[in-house]
A and B are shown apart, each in its own frame.
Chain A
Amino acid sequence: MSALFPFHGGLKTVRHKTESNQTPIQAGILPPRLTVPLRQHIGAIAKPLVQPGDRVLKGQMIGQPDGYISAAIHAPTSGVVSAVDQQPVPHPSGLSDLCVTIESDGEDRWIDREPVDYHRLHPSELRQTIRNAGVVGLGGAGFPSAVKLNLAGRSEPLATLMLNGAECEPWITCDDRLMRERAAEIVAGLQIMAHLLGPAEVLIGIEDDKPEAIAAMTAACAGTSYEVRPVPTRYPSGSVKQLVKLLTGRETPVDGLPVDVGVQCFNVATAYTVYRAIHCGEPVISRVVTVTGQVHRPGNLEVLIGTPFAELIKQCGGYRDGVERLIMGGPMMGFALHSDEAPVTKAANCLLAAGPAELAAELPVLPCIRCGACMDVCPANLLPQQLYWHARAKEFDQARDCHLFSCIECGCCSHVCPSHIPLVQYYRYAKNEIWAQEKEKQRAEQARQRHQARMERLEREKQEREAKLRQKAPVRTEVVPHLDPLISVPSPTKGEGSGQVG
């Protein structure tokens, strides 16, 4: 086994994996109505390609990527588009976003699926196929994968292609089940990625609390040079920069990406969707979601994108008593949903119905005693207590100097704080304030430039008018020489002035 390179800090958290990982992935039911957000990824919102009344087939593109960093959106089932409008989406703000609503016709009829032989495609065509299939990072970030599969413009070949199967957050088991049940497909997807990136080595990082997944992936990698590397169960080993450090010892620069140190990392579920896109011709229209916590039958469901969360809960036997928060994602980084009417998106890996047993009691906040417990667990090696002082005092410049933007919001600091200070909330607040200030600055700069452009234009127009006037009255220009003596009356003073300066 190869050496690991531990990162600073981190935590042993509660696990709660067995609640949901004991049963196979179940197919989700086909809901009567699907609400598909057009923004399920980082980057520009997809441009809608359908109008209310249109009939769509399962897998048909309904949102087109708008620009390089954007992703395609597809109809998860066949039916009729009933609306293209603002609908609630799973977002911490609770705000709405543009969605396509599809009334299912119950037939679930596919478009023509065309599997492709990727060896025959030019890399750019292969990337385009992946892009058109709407493949984005399924670990939660939702970054368009086709962008990450393009190394054009980088002089050095990629050292390491990495697959992230760490799944370090408590409660979540969707990647665990996927690796156990569909390891061969994941590795097939990984092969396509390796084909595009040509890395020197391919590593798969999995936390060692998933022995079955490790075994399945190791078996699927037989005959390849791919290496499965168990990593210690220590939150947040699944955070990309931390996993890169763990497996390769390389630290991603503060303002950089893993690719800057020669590593490109994808989630295991993303590799699976690449496989589906190429080998089956199926775009990303479903994903595995862990439904756990206070529901009667916790487990993993493979559900269509756009299915309301309430349907997932129903399929898992409904809520048990005392559910206080519905968390999308894990309890460390996930956010609490306002309601269960929001739809499943590509980034939705887990739905945790949390009651008092799962949640921390809301404890009163005491002053910071500067104990440094937060510093000891910070995987970014920040000084959370100082960031907190600066954020609290609205000293945003100092917060930025203390590397506020290196904070990955993993929640370790808040988790251990004896004073129960919601530290991460302060950092989010400070980041938002800084972004707002920057936007404001940009707006002011734009306004200044516009104003300057306007003044220049007015000046130019004035001069043009004057020039035209002069052309129209050529006689008067001849008069000018006669006026010269008059104008030159104050010239002695002028002369003196210039003399003094000289």
Chain B
Amino acid sequence: MRFKTVTSPHILQQNSVGQVMRRVLYAMVPGIAALVWFFGWGVLINLALATVVALGAEAVMLSIRGKPLALHLGDYSAVVTAWLLAVALPPLAPWWLTMIGVLAAIVVAKHLYGGLGYNPFNPAMIGYVVLLISFPREMSAWLIPHGIGQPHALSLLDSLQIIFGGAGSLPVDALTGATPLDVLRTRLGLGQTVTDIRNSPVFGVVAGQGWEWATAGFLAGGLWLVYTRTAAWQIPAGLLGGLVVMSTTFYLIDPQHYAPPWFHIWSGAVIFGAFFIATDPVTASTTPRGRLIYGAGIGILIYIIRGFGGYPDGVAFSVLLMNIAAPTLDLYTRPRVFGEKQL
């Protein structure tokens, strides 16, 4: 009797790229729920719009590149990119803003660099940075917490109208405001102390009001990702470690001009970035030590950009800068091979 000859191993674990990506999506759910609660339907509309545009762009690019559609669309990587970007956008961002961002991420940052697995930069962060640089006014128009769980919530229809038809008669300007990090940055520039600024109504217990709950949601999801080994623990550990070291140092030097470490950790996109953005395996370092250094580099850069740079938050730029360093980190942090003498 003749048989098929296939090389070993002959058994494989039930595991797939699609499964890895779907886990990332599940892990985002608690954080997204909190965002919807505090910032309204706009968050969900952004997510849906980004998903549709991302899948469309992915399909077009795949067919141009002659790749099988079902196989590659089924890996959910485009959806992950879409969600990561959508969550980072202002909840009432006009539809074209979301679209431009997603197209920049999927078409340019992902497929023009060779598609899944070959892109040197985090696609979602490329999309975000393109928008941040090109449309600074739209990108800073964050809602003050007026979500569906809040007293003066915008209805779904109102949200749709603002996103797709512009503000019209709706009092959007009254709803939008600077983000807590914007406030901190601007007022520190005016010479106010951290303690005074923290008394402003945009702040809650630890960080921005409403934001702190979204952060808690993303932390829960992120810890689950680490627990299931979907995300490497070294990256968030390095990132938060780097940020804590920097912020604690400056806070101890002058607590009136530098926000405390817990504020930094819990503000802006730090937790989300640490567990969901920086952990994108394609663009991160792949060795255990490399991942720690990569994470720490992002943490340090976030602090430098927040404290001394031109933007209130620096997660996107920090991630992209460390993306460039990842191949070099891999080269110099190779683990000791079994039986090799101590390096």
Contacts and interface: CB of A to CB of B under 8 A. Distances in A.
A338 B334 CA distance: 39
B17 A366 contact: yes
B338 A338 contact: no
A379 B71 CA distance: 31
Nearest to A260: B339
Given A94-B5, A425-B7, A370 B338 contact: no
Interface string A316-355: 0001000111110101111111111000000000000010
**Contact size class for A?**
35 or more
Interface stretch (A62-70, A274-282, A413-421, A459-467): A413-421
Contact of A375 (B7, B9, B12, B287): B287
21 contacts: A241-B338, A324-B4, A326-B1, A329-B8, A334-B8, A335-B7, A360-B11, A363-B16, A364-B71, A366-B16, A366-B71, A366-B72, A369-B20, A369-B77, A370-B281, A371-B20, A372-B232, A383-B287, A383-B334, A419-B16, A419-B117
Interface in A386-436: 386, 402-403, 406, 409, 411, 414-420, 422, 424-425, 428
A376 B338 CA distance: 13
Contact of A354 (B10, B16, B75): B10
A288 B219 CA distance: 55
Given A326-B3, A338-B2, A364-B71, A406 B337 contact: yes
**Contact size class for B?**
35 or more
Contact of A422 (B4, B7, B118, B281): B7
Given A13-B11, A325-B10, A381-B338, 14 more contacts: A8-B338, A253-B340, A325-B4, A331-B8, A331-B10, A336-B7, A354-B10, A359-B11, A360-B10, A360-B12, A372-B281, A406-B340, A417-B12, A418-B17
A360 B330 CA distance: 32
Contacts of A329: 8
A325 B2 CA distance: 9
Interface string A227-244: 000000000000001000
A382 interface: yes
B9 A420 contact: no
A386 B118 CA distance: 13
B133 interface: no
Contacts of B117: 366-370, 419
A333 B337 contact: no
A420 B10 contact: no
A170 to B, nearest CB: 7
Contact of B286 (A14, A253, A254, A386): A386
A418 B23 CA distance: 13
Q: In this complex, which of B115, B116, B338, B340 has the most chain A Cβ atoms within 10 angstroms of its Cβ?
A: B338
A8 to B, nearest CB: 7
A252 interface: yes
A368 B119 CA distance: 11
Contact of B7 (A170, A381, A386, A428): A428
Interface in B65-103: 68, 71-72, 75, 77
Contacts of B341: 253
Nearest to A336: B5
Interface in A143-161: none
B19 interface: yes
B16 A420 contact: yes
A495 interface: no
Given A170-B11, A367-B116, A336 B6 contact: yes
Contacts, number: 176
B229 interface: yes
Nearest to B118: A367
A189 B233 CA distance: 49
Given A331-B11, A333-B8, A369 B116 contact: yes
Contacts of A337: 3, 5
Contacts of A379: 338
A339 B3 CA distance: 6
B282 A370 contact: yes
A310 interface: yes
A416 B13 contact: yes
Interface of B: 1-13, 15-17, 19-20, 68, 71-72, 75, 77, 115-118, 229, 232, 281-282, 284, 286-288, 330, 334-341
A24 B115 CA distance: 55
Nearest to B334: A383
Given A332-B9, A336-B10, A411-B8, A381 B15 contact: no
B286 A406 contact: no
A251 interface: yes
A358 interface: yes
Contacts of A170: 11
A332 B8 contact: yes
Contact of A381 (B4, B8, B335): B335
A290 to B, nearest CB: 15
Given A338-B3, A367-B118, A370-B282, A381 B10 contact: no
A7 B336 CA distance: 13
Contacts of A359: 10-11
A325 B1 CA distance: 10
Given A336-B6, A339-B1, A370-B286, A252 B339 contact: yes
User: Lowest 8 CB-CB distances: which A-B pairs, in order?
Assistant: A411-B9, A367-B117, A360-B12, A331-B10, A336-B5, A371-B281, A380-B338, A254-B339
A380 B337 contact: yes
Interface string A83-98: 0000000001010000
Given A332-B11, A333-B9, A419 B340 contact: no
Contacts of A92: 5, 7
B1 A14 contact: no
Q: In this complex, which of B8, B117, B284 has the most chain A Cβ atoms within 10 angstroms of its Cβ?
A: B8
A332 B77 CA distance: 30
Contacts of A245: 338
Contacts of A8: 338
Contacts of B286: 370, 372, 375, 383, 385-386
Contacts of B282: 369-370
